[in-house]
Structure 1
């Protein structure tokens, strides 16, 4: 399996911390393996949300992991960037204050940081 790129905690907002990770994938089984690998780190396993999306040859997949609508935010950004065969995971550790609509901006910020990072590596 391909190694996961973990950018770690890249931003905080009112106590919530956001990290972003990702890896090349070609199937749902690959996505599941990447998620298992990520969650083998206790910090990520205990996170409030590990939201993700991927565009695979068989179609798009996403999961909100309790952060309603966040998977679609990641998926839209992957579509716009034309990034296929890659899973992007945005991890949130809840900080005690609700962010309302700002939570989607933080998911966008984290996804953008990852896209920028891999764009310099492609």
Structure 2
């Protein structure tokens, strides 16, 4: 599990991104469970995630409607299969509107640029 914390802060909301190998929905649930063993991540407002399989995307918006599909599309464009990416958001009290999608996209891009995907 690779975690990049504190990568974006906007109007009180804070973002982190994490990821690792994942081949099934059960593995995704186990990954999220392991991530949430860290108290900080368990208290997050959203842990949105996605990973790609040959059959298509597996995703969960966790309350950030549409964010899982955005993440899946980015992973598909990268050709990254069987690797979960989780964008975590701690809500800061002010609505971000469409900026939240930009932050999700920037978080996934950060992960793709900095994670060891080998």
TM-score of the aligned structures, taking structure 2 as reference length: 0.94
- Classify 1:64/1:82 alpha carbon distance in 2 versus 1 (closer, same or farther; 3 Å): same
1:83 to 80, 84, 102: 80
Gaps of 5+ in 1: none
On the 8 A contact 1:23/1:87 being kept in 2, the answer is: yes
On the 8 A contact 1:39/1:45 being kept in 2, the answer is: yes
Runs of 4+ in 1 over 2 A off after TM superposition: 56-59
Matched position secondary structure for 1:18: strand
Residue 16 of structure 1 deviates from its aligned partner by 0.3
Verify: 1:7 aligned to 2:4, yes or no: yes
Matched position secondary structure for 2:16: strand
2:60 to 41, 58, 63: 63
Matched position secondary structure for 2:7: strand
Matched position secondary structure for 1:35: helix
Matched position secondary structure for 1:79: helix
Partner of 2:99: 102
Partner of 2:24: 27
Residue 26 of structure 1 deviates from its aligned partner by 1.2
Matched position secondary structure for 2:68: helix
Residue 57 of structure 1 deviates from its aligned partner by 4.2
Q: Quote the Cα distance in structure 2 between the aligned partners of 1:82 and 1:97.
A: 35
Q: CA RMSD in A?
A: 1.2
1:54 to 43, 51, 54: 51
Residue 90 of structure 1 deviates from its aligned partner by 0.1
